[in-house]
Structure 1
Amino acid sequence: MPSFPDYCASDPSFCRKDVQPIIPPPEYRPEPNGCIRLGYPFEPESNACFRRAFEMPPSDPFMSSRDDILNAATRFFADQGYDGTGVREICAAANANVAAINYHFGGKAALYHEVIKRAYEASRAIAMPSLSDHPDAAEDALAAWISWYVDPGPDVGNDPARRLLLKEAANPTAELNDVVRSVLHPVYRGLEEIVMVLLPANVDPRTLKIQCLSILGQCLIHRVCREMIDRLPVSPPLGPEDASAISCVVTANSLAALSAARRTSTPEPTP
């Protein structure tokens, strides 16, 4: 028996005893002295016959990558919403078979969940500053956190992921609950850790939450409501280059509020 991968071309079936036979097309007639290795003959005119036997069909439903489907779904969900988007139009844009949605994600709802989660994670590609970065200066840690949250980075006004987040915030779906728990809650906890150091040790949970939400609200209006703010008939217009100045104002306001909270909770000394 010839050793692998040599085959005897005189055998019309081109088969080995321990593998599934590969039958050449009826119109193919190998030369009697032709030698074949790994199922490919040396003769150029014969190569195409064997390559067709081994290559994956171009219509395979899973050839499009997972990212292709996610990118197409992000655009459609951002423009048309969940209910207004069909699986077929996503697959057509991603050059994928409809079966690829179930194969990669398990269905339309699971795809939307993954799109929302990826959009939130991408919106904060830079690592969040924390108190551990400024262990001896909580004020600096707060300033870094505010700057990180306010500054959107490059101009992302037309980014479909950002538009999708705005649509989800205005009309929340069930997917928002999981995203809040897995993505936004850790961000809030990072802010809370900093604010706790800047308040008295005996601060009550309600005051702590109000202070944190006050800071978060000042940041959110500049991140989420840019389109509305930009339409105010007030000059001059503000752009990404003003993020640093806005961060400084939010930081100053927040530190002043925290300082006032400390004075309020500190009892006056008795004469």
Structure 2
Amino acid sequence: MTQPPSPADASRERIVAAATALFAEHGYDGTTTRTIAGAAGLNVATVAYHVGGKADLYREVMRRAHEAEQAAVGAALAEFAREAPADPAAAAAAFADRYLDFCLAQPHVPALWMRRWLSDAAEFAGLEEQYTRPLLESVRDALTAALAELTPDRAELALWTVLWTTHGFCRSMIRAQVPRFRAHLRALVLRELGLDGAP
């Protein structure tokens, strides 16, 4: 039987949850420590005691977002590796499905990265190299290993296309259009990877 979190741990988690939602919605630059404290139902001094400054909190939020994305992508890559030898097109489409499902389930992750693409939190240089680049390369390498005709450059561009498209759609949160977007994303992935039969 697991123990309930300590009051300090519970406060910290409330702060991180509030900061995650606010950074995703308003960006780092558009969020204050006072706003985070208010959303968490705590005072500014308590926030500082549990997590440090706003910059420390942002690093923690981005680390957690990365770890969630890394776990989802790792599981999807393992499935892709099992399925690709028999049917690479189905495996690639399923990988896109799994990534879309992750982004729909955790919309703060694409929102946080889209904020960065808009130059939010520009003073935090290196997060893309620390988090995005290794993850992108692991997927690129898996694709090029499974698809003999696929060059690394084409694989990487296909991945960025999926990221930009999926993150933009998930940010819109038009749930009624998910089936239509899923079909579009599958077709996009197959075309970008040269698996749609087109010359």
TM-score normalized with structure 2 length: 0.69
Q: Cα offset for 1:181?
A: 2.3
Q: Does 1:225 align with 2:172?
A: no
Count how many residue pairs are aligned between Structure 1 and Structure 2: 188
- Equivalent of 1:212, from 130, 152, 155? 155
Q: Tell me what 1:85 maps to.
A: 31
How far apart in 2 are the matches of 1:194 and 1:90?
A: 41
How far apart in 2 are the matches of 1:188 and 1:62?
A: 38
Q: Secondary structure at the match of 1:65?
A: helix
Q: Tell me what 1:267 maps to.
A: none
- Equivalent of 1:253, from 183, 188, 191? 191
Q: Cα offset for 1:110?
A: 1.2
How far apart in 1 are the matches of 2:105 and 2:84?
A: 32
Q: Is the 8 A contact 1:117 1:179 kept in 2?
A: no
- The one-letter amino acid paired with 2:91 is A
Q: How high is the sequence identity, in percent, across the aligned residues?
A: 27
Q: Is the 8 A contact 1:150 1:243 kept in 2?
A: no
- Residues 169-216 of structure 1 deviation map (CA, whole Å, 9 limit, x = unaligned): 21152446235423552243123222233126xxxxxx8332112311
* Structure 1: gaps of 5 or more residues: 1-60, 201-206, 231-237, 262-271
Q: Secondary structure at the match of 1:137?
A: coil
1:253–1:182 Cα change, 3 Å:
same
- Residues 55-101 of structure 1 deviation map (CA, whole Å, 9 limit, x = unaligned): xxxxxx95852111012112332344323322223122212243333
The correspondence of residues 161-240 of structure 1 with structure 2, limited to 5 A, is: 161-172=109-120, 173-175=122-124, 177-178=126-127, 180-182=129-131, 185-199=134-148, 208-226=151-169, 239-240=177-178
Q: Cα offset for 1:166?
A: 1.8
The correspondence of residues 33-72 of structure 1 with structure 2, limited to 5 A, is: 62=8, 65-72=11-18
Q: Is the 8 A contact 1:75 1:161 kept in 2?
A: no
Q: Is the 8 A contact 1:150 1:223 kept in 2?
A: yes
TM-score normalized with structure 1 length: 0.54
Q: Does 1:142 align with 2:88?
A: no
The structure, 1 or 2, with the larger RCO (C-alpha pairs under 8 Å, 6+ apart) is: 2
Q: Is the 8 A contact 1:101 1:111 kept in 2?
A: no
1:184–1:144 Cα change, 3 Å:
farther
Q: Is the 8 A contact 2:66 2:131 kept in 1?
A: no
1:176–1:241 Cα change, 3 Å:
farther
